[in-house]
A = this chain, B = another copy of it.
Amino acid sequence: MVAPDRFSTGESNLDLHSKDQSQHPACRPEAVIWPVDRVEVSEILKYANKNLIPVTGWGAGTSLEGNPIPVKAGIVLDFSQMNKILDIKEEDFQTDVEPGVIYQDLNEKLRHKGLFFPPDPGAQATIGGMIANNASGTRTVHYGSTKDYVLRLSVVLANGEIIETGTRASKTSSGYDLIHLFVGSEGTLGIMVEATLRLVGLPAEFSAAIVTFPSVEAAGKAVYEIIRSGLDPAALELLAPDCIKLINQEQDLGLNVSPTLFMEYHGPTKNQLAEVLEMVQEICKGEGSGEFRSGLGRTERDHLFKARHELAEMIIRNHPDCSLMVIDVAVPITAYPEIIAFVIEESEKIGIPGYIFGHAGDGNLHLVFMGKTGDEREWKVIDQANQHIVSKALDMGGTATGEHGVGIGKRKFMDAEHGKSLEWMKRIKDLFDPNGILNPGKIFPCK
């Protein structure tokens, strides 16, 4: 079905496709295939469907909930050879891409045309993975999530059928929205083989600010006031004191070790952004802010945000012999200070290093626990803390996962989060994939 050099059952290839960046246990597939076009994907799925062989799509393996771990073995489809940017329709603000295109590579290419694709999950993610998990990141507060940027999809269904859905128009009210059904479905309803993405113009000017606060509550209040004011931040990130301590130590920034907001603003001129920064500073002062560092222009923005962007790496580097679990709850923004307080308490209770940061403008909180790899007792404790935190977020009207997807780690919360609508999700799954071959063992709780 495929050329022999694009099919492997070799140990090292199976190992490479057995785990993502999470702490979830590795599980090897039986074979890895690197398809080169939709016809191959269709043929493979037809065969797998007939022979009841699990098929799991693979992007870059940068996910954080075990989303592409082939827990039922079978075939992994690695899309690294379907990585072409097929077209950039500059004046329509659109691009057609294959699933294996790397997020960073796409934006590098688009930059020269004055355009960009805003969801910002991490530089190495693939577009296919981003669509599968409805990924988002620091810029979502202004620009939205991946789901807001998918105009058209070509999808191979479990039975091998290839369908196209969506439109090149920027809006539509025509029929049921299958696009949003596939986005975030983690490859359990079909396998995406081409997408048309909406793009936006690169802002003319950038600015950023770092502001410290006496308490998480004060920072949370400032977040609310900034959003309320219509100042429209392009990023609005909160870092807890432990993260600031680490940043100071690694990059010698000399920041006050206290709750800190990292903010970014985009606009047409430096003048406008200077005015915006003044208004932001005024708001922050009103909430008792301490230090206020700010800068105008792309270089200054990059400089100020460097620490934020490298934070996850710093955490990992500082805890060798540890694995990470990233908690990814999102809550209504008024509940943000309370969930942070709760998370701090849980983290202190179990005495395991936990770094708290998040996309405050979206009410999305991350808590990174660094647990000793293989230490079962420690991981049991972390798992209990995770359980408490997610349950608390759900009680607050929030969600178990703001941007990392359900994968393996969040399955057990699906009943609590979705109630009876989970049964309808399962019926949709059974409609599209009656034999259950697509990424089995994900999203739905194990019975």
Contact = CB atoms under 8 A, between A and B. Distances in A.
Interface string A398-428: 1111111110001000100111111011011
Contacts of A422: 175
Nearest to A189: B176
A376 interface: no
A349 to B, nearest CB: 24
Copies in the complex: 2
Given A181-B181, A272-B272, A417-B174, A398 B230 contact: no
A169 B230 contact: no
Contact of A177 (B147, B163, B229): B147
Given A173-B135, A174-B417, A397 B167 contact: yes
Contacts of A224: 91
A431 interface: yes
Contact of A89 (B91, B334, B429): B334
Interface stretch (A33-41, A68-76, A263-271, A284-292): A263-271
A170 B397 contact: no
Contacts of A140: 171
A334 B420 CA distance: 44
A410 B174 contact: yes
A410 B173 CA distance: 10
Contact of A175 (B267, B331, B417, B432): B417
A406 B229 contact: no
A330 B161 CA distance: 28
Contacts of A372: none
B165 A330 contact: no
Given A178-B425, A275-B269, A201 B228 contact: yes
A176 B276 CA distance: 38
A176 B170 contact: no
A187 interface: no
A169 B168 CA distance: 29
B173 A398 contact: no
B175 A403 contact: no
Interface string A136-180: 100010001101100000000000011111011111111111111
A405 B173 contact: yes
A114 interface: yes
Given A164-B421, A175-B406, A169 B364 contact: yes
Interface in A427-441: 427-429, 431-432
A305 interface: no
A7 interface: no
Given A94-B332, A183-B177, A420-B161, A172 B402 contact: yes
A424 B178 contact: yes
Nearest to A148: B148
Interface string A177-198: 1111101110001000000000
Contacts of A231: 268
Given A164-B421, A332-B168, A398-B167, A443 B175 contact: yes
A268 B230 contact: yes
Contact of A168 (B268, B272, B398): B398
Given A275-B272, A279-B268, A173 B133 contact: yes
A237 interface: no
Given A91-B333, A419-B164, A145 B171 contact: yes
A170 B114 CA distance: 29
Given A148-B148, A167-B417, A418-B165, A173 B404 contact: yes
The 4 closest A-B pairs by CB, nearest first: A180-B180, A168-B397, A169-B330, A172-B399
8 contacts: A144-B148, A148-B148, A163-B424, A168-B396, A171-B402, A175-B418, A175-B443, A180-B180
Given A167-B398, A271-B275, 13 more contacts: A168-B331, A169-B332, A169-B399, A170-B364, A173-B406, A174-B417, A175-B417, A177-B180, A177-B183, A202-B230, A204-B229, A268-B275, A428-B428
